[in-house]
Amino acid sequence: MANEVQQANPVHLEEYKDLSSNMRQYANMRFAQLTLFIAMTAGLLNLLFGSNHTTSDPLRDVLKGIGILITVVFWIMEERAVGYWNHFRHRAVELERELGFRQYSTRPERTLIRSSNAARLLYGAIMAFWLTALLMRNIF
């Protein structure tokens, strides 16, 4: 395989390295975004339901609206990051044919149980919570 790499187009080898780096960056970014989202959501929940929550009803509605907005924004960012990651992976698979690599082309089959669907479930559940909290004021 070492000979195959040496004979491969050096531009494609550099592109492959860049793709791997880009994929790593987007995977790390997804984790950082999720961490920030959870921290912001926890902060809002503390403001609304903490032990000394003495906020007025209009302010509580605004905070719930902010929770919805934060959820939508982070969900969009998650979907875009997944889209870019998949784009880079598809290109890496194309280059692997030429380079004789098998890092991305032989990864385990995708199923319903994957991180992007888990993130969608999390964002959907939190969105449902914020909408329920906003619409059912007498309970939340």
Q: What residue ranges do the domains of the chain occupy?
A: 10-135
Q: How confident is the model at residue 8 (pLDDT cuts 50, 70, 90)?
A: confident
Calpha distance 35→37 (Å, rounded): 5
> Tell me, what DSSP letter sits at residue 139?
T
The answer to whether the beta carbons of residues 132 and 140 sit under 8 Å apart is yes
| CA nearest neighbour of 82 among 110, 42, 40 | 110
| Per-residue pLDDT at 57 | 87
pLDDT tens sequence across 39-83: 999 999 999 988 776 778 899 999 999 999 999 999 999 999 999
| Per-residue pLDDT at 125 | 98
Q: Which whole number is the average pLDDT over 20-40?
A: 97
**Comparison of pLDDT for 1 and 104, the residue scoring more:** 104
| CA nearest neighbour of 96 among 88, 46, 83 | 88
Q: What is the CA radius of gyration of the chain?
A: 22
| Per-residue pLDDT at 119 | 97
Q: How confident is the model at residue 5 (pLDDT cuts 50, 70, 90)?
A: very low
Q: Average pLDDT over the chain, rounded to whole?
A: 91
How many other CB atoms are there within 10 angstroms of residue 33's CB atom?
17
Of the chain, the percentage scoring pLDDT greater than 90 comes to: 78
Ordered alpha helix ranges (H), the chain = 2-7, 10-49, 57-99, 115-135
Question: In sequence order, which residues have a C-beta less than 8 Å from that of residue 26 and are 6 or more positions away?
Answer: 81, 84, 85, 88
The answer to whether the beta carbons of residues 112 and 46 sit under 8 Å apart is no
Q: Which whole number is the average pLDDT over 93-114?
A: 90
Calpha distance 96→66 (Å, rounded): 45
